[in-house]
Amino acid sequence: MNHFITINGKILDVSRPIVMGIINITPDSFFTNSSKNFVEATEKAICEGASIIDIGGYSTRPMADFVNSEEEELRVCKALESIRKHFPDIPISIDTFRASVAKKVVEEFGVGIINDVSGGDLDSDMFATVAQLNVPYILTHSKGNPQTMQSLTDYKSVTYDVLDFFINKLHQLRQMGVKDIIIDPGFGFAKTIPQNYELLNNLRIFETLNCPILGGISRKTMIFRPLGITPDLALNGTTVLNTLLLREGASILRVHDVKEAMEAIKLFDCFQGNFIAENQN
């Protein structure tokens, strides 16, 4: 499917899948990048092929510690000050559910995308703020907050309940004038492991919404728990599921490990007959 999003006045083609590299700046994230230096971690992600850098100051893993807005803002601004000095042009996404944080980083640091894990449910001002800022918005399905989400896993049908959620939220956003919307089914957010796999198996259904689909499964519970391992050993499983995400129509892979995700995309291109390499023997 042909999809384009406009970030800071530039058009980004996501018709061919791209990678969003996660830069963890929270002390309680379930998986921490090998480098604690924001600039070094960002440079590594860019060199390995990331098209977008995703930064968050509030871990959204289940049962994450509560962080007030002042602390979240302090964390992300500190990281952005360093990153923007060295990489002024790289598209940056801010992972936040707070409209005030989104507004500050867009206006002061040129952040180009708002990645809201709550789908607008945790801050009633978020949709209006995104519309005012005129930036792309990642609409994620979830329930509750990081402290309560894993107790909210009751669905009539997880696939069609998530689809209904997107239909209703997309209507609200478009009525408010938000043009570029990316949808994220929210793997791991208010979903059991079987529900996550059901969503992955039915991902093509969401193509009917005519929005780019973001898949964020990197090193999550749906990988490491069935394998009986820990997140730091879940890279191979992540690559397996990233490949399935690509086959089911994902446009953006949100990952901790950019190099491996880019390799998955390149080999998936070969699988589809789009073999581009210096040596084709």
Q: How confident is the model over 90-112, as a mean pLDDT?
A: 97
Q: For the ranges 24-33, 150-159, 221-230, which has the lowest average pLDDT? A: 24-33
281 occurs within a structural domain: no
> pLDDT at position 135, please?
98
Which is catalytic among the residues 220, 225, 247, 266? 220
- Output the six-digit token pair for 269: 């291109």
Q: For the ranges 5-14, 195-204, 223-232, 266-275, which has the lowest average pLDDT? A: 266-275
Give 187's Cβ-side CA count (13 Å radius): 29
24 occurs within a structural domain: yes
- Assess contact for 252 and 19: CB atoms under 8 A: yes
What is the residue range of 111's domain?
4-270
> pLDDT at position 267, please?
96
Return mean pLDDT, the chain.
92
> pLDDT at position 146, please?
76
196 occurs within a structural domain: yes
Task: Read off φ and ψ for residue 138, nearest 5 degrees.
Answer: -95, 110
Q: Which residues of 38-53 are buried (b: 16+ CB within 10 A; e: fewer)?
A: beebbbbbbebbbbbb
Rounded Cα gap, residues 41 and 1, in angstroms: 31
Q: How many structural domains comprise the chain?
A: 1
> pLDDT at position 61, please?
64
What region does 273 belong to: left with phi over 0, alpha with psi -120 to 50, or beta?
Answer: left
279 occurs within a structural domain: no
Rounded Cα gap, residues 274 and 29, in angstroms: 37
- Output the six-digit token pair for 140: 């994620």
- Assess contact for 219 and 249: CB atoms under 8 A: no
Residue 175 has pLDDT above 70, yes or no: yes
Q: Helices 193-201 & 235-247, crossing angle to 10 degrees?
A: 40
> pLDDT at position 149, please?
82
> pLDDT at position 218, please?
97
84 is catalytic: no
Q: Going edge to edge, which strands form the sheet with 181-184?
A: 181-184, 137-140, 113-116, 92-95, 52-56, 18-24, 252-255, 214-215
CATH code for position 207: 3.20.20.20
> pLDDT at position 275, please?
66
169 is catalytic: no
Q: For residue range 233-259, what is the model confidence (pLDDT) as tens digits?
A: 999 999 999 999 999 999 999 999 999
Q: How confident is the model over 147-173, as a mean pLDDT?
A: 93
Rounded Cα gap, residues 159 and 200, in angstroms: 9
> pLDDT at position 62, please?
62
Helix (H) or strand (E) holding 24: strand 18-24
277 occurs within a structural domain: no
Q: For residue range 13-58, what is the model confidence (pLDDT) as tens digits?
A: 999 999 999 998 876 554 454 445 889 999 999 999 999 999 998 8
91 occurs within a structural domain: yes
Which is catalytic among the residues 98, 169, 219, 254? 254
Identify the band that residue 138 occupies on the pLDDT scale cut at 50, 70 and 90: very high
- Output the six-digit token pair for 170: 């997309």
58 occurs within a structural domain: yes
Residue 278 has pLDDT above 60, yes or no: no
Identify the band that residue 170 occupies on the pLDDT scale cut at 50, 70 and 90: very high
Q: For residue range 56-74, what is the model confidence (pLDDT) as tens digits?
A: 988 766 666 788 999 999 9
What region does 228 belong to: left with phi over 0, alpha with psi -120 to 50, or beta?
Answer: left
278 occurs within a structural domain: no
